[in-house]
Amino acid sequence: MRFISYEYRDRARVAVVSEDGVLFPLPGVSSLTTLLEETSGLPGLLAAGEAALAGPAGPDAREVRPLAPLRPSSLRDFVTFEEHVEGVRRAVDGASGVPEQWYAAPTFYFTNPHAVYGPDEDVPVPPGSELFDFELEVGAVIGREGRDLTPERARDHIVGYTVFNDWSARDLQSAEMRVGLGPCKGKDTATSLGPYLVTADELEPYRDPDGFLRLALTAEVNGETVGRDLLSHMSWTFEEMTAYASRGTRVVPGDVLGSGTCGNGGCLAELWGLRGKQDPPALRPGDVVALTVEGIGTLRNTVVPGPDPVPLPRGRRRSRERA
């Protein structure tokens, strides 16, 4: 089942998209995040969707403005593709290979849930950045609260999936990571999600014997393909990632877990690292990025100019003397 969030006549709505593309609104539902909190899991969400499909059809899909499928409770972005790690390390900090520590656990960072963009929305260049990049990922959406989950239990907590674009200012990222606190402002301006939330049961036919979803991934810039990969090239499953995210804490409905960027051109920085030059060039205003995930859909955004950075002073050097 595919769920879409959209705006129609200045009102936010949520609908199920039928196989022939007709929208069937869920009565009284304006937030998919709230619906996930109320249904608490895949069976409840599917029941709400079935009830909508039994009701009247909504507006034509061409008459609505699509929104991000949900406003995440939190955004954890993992890094689970070896090929991406190797290429981006070379591009961002000049290092080679994959750190041995990377294999110990599915590392993630928290990114900004207040900077989420939907399908066809314009995405601004981060202030001060000259090396803007996309990142092709898949996001798993949590539908039930859980804590200290095993991978086996975690499967029941994943309600569905969406396309995830982790926009990245590579020059800001490179400078910030010298401090040792992660990407920070290099990832703070935008994350795109969409075009749908596809429920987990829809993608079960793509699951391979090792538990990975074998989905084809394609990245295009201005109609030219720059990357292709398979989601099953991840080194951890989404269930394993969810279990790690819940360790010593909790995951809640509306949390989104990004797969991390795929390899073989899942972002420009990986290609820069492998080729030793900025080819293809960094994104510029007017560029159109289209990310396609088999079984989910295509997430398309146009890059637009962003504001100039507000000037700030350098940090003050302080005396270590104490009274």
What's the CATH code of the domain at 204?
3.90.850.10
The answer to whether position 322 is within a domain reads no
56 and 82 in a single domain? The answer is no
Query: What confidence score (pLDDT) does residue 118 get?
Result: 98
The answer to whether position 317 is within a domain reads no
159 and 227 in a single domain? The answer is yes
In which band, very low, low, confident or very high, does the pLDDT at 91 lie, cut at 50, 70 and 90?
Answer: confident
In which band, very low, low, confident or very high, does the pLDDT at 251 lie, cut at 50, 70 and 90?
Answer: very high
55 and 125 in a single domain? The answer is no
The answer to whether position 313 is within a domain reads no
204 and 126 in a single domain? The answer is yes
Domain boundary pick from 66, 97, 119? 66
In which band, very low, low, confident or very high, does the pLDDT at 90 lie, cut at 50, 70 and 90?
Answer: confident
42 and 170 in a single domain? The answer is no
pLDDT above 90: percentage of residues in the chain: 89
- Asked whether residue 274 carries a pLDDT value surpassing 90, the answer given is no
Closest CA to 5 of 96, 128, 104, 118: 118
φ and ψ of 26, to 5 deg: -90, 120
91 and 231 in a single domain? The answer is yes
Domain boundary pick from 66, 88, 106? 66
Residues 217-234: tens digit of each pLDDT: 999 999 999 999 999 999
Q: Tell me how many domains the chain contains.
A: 2
Alpha carbon separation from 7 to 64, 79, 183, 198, 202 (Å, rounded): 6, 33, 32, 19, 25
In which band, very low, low, confident or very high, does the pLDDT at 290 lie, cut at 50, 70 and 90?
Answer: very high
Query: What confidence score (pLDDT) does residue 323 get?
Result: 74
Closest CA to 197 of 256, 280, 109, 270: 256
In terms of residue numbers, what domain contains 177?
75-304
202 and 224 in a single domain? The answer is yes
Residues 149-164: tens digit of each pLDDT: 999 999 999 999 999 9
181 and 248 in a single domain? The answer is yes
The answer to whether position 310 is within a domain reads no
User: Which residues contact residue 121 at a Cβ distance below 8 angstroms, ignoring those fewer than 6 apart?
Assistant: 192, 301
243 and 161 in a single domain? The answer is yes
The answer to whether position 123 is within a domain reads yes
147 and 292 in a single domain? The answer is yes
50 and 91 in a single domain? The answer is no
Query: What confidence score (pLDDT) does residue 174 get?
Result: 86
The answer to whether position 314 is within a domain reads no
Residues 17-54: tens digit of each pLDDT: 999 999 999 999 999 999 999 999 999 999 999 999 99
The answer to whether position 315 is within a domain reads no
111 and 251 in a single domain? The answer is yes
Q: Report how far residue 274's alpha carbon sits from residue 88's, in angstroms, rounded to the nearest whole number.
A: 8
Q: Once rounded to an integer, what is the mean pLDDT over residues 127-147?
A: 98
Mean pLDDT of the chain: 95
Q: Report how far residue 19's alpha carbon sits from residue 285's, in angstroms, rounded to the nearest whole number.
A: 35
Alpha carbon separation from 22 to 18, 42, 144, 235 (Å, rounded): 5, 22, 28, 37
Q: Report how far residue 185's alpha carbon sits from residue 127's, in angstroms, rounded to the nearest whole number.
A: 10
* Core vs surface per residue 164-184: b (16+ CB within 10 A) or e: bbbbbbbbbbbebeeeeeebe
Domain boundary pick from 46, 66, 86? 66
The answer to whether position 220 is within a domain reads yes
Closest CA to 163 of 134, 132, 197: 197
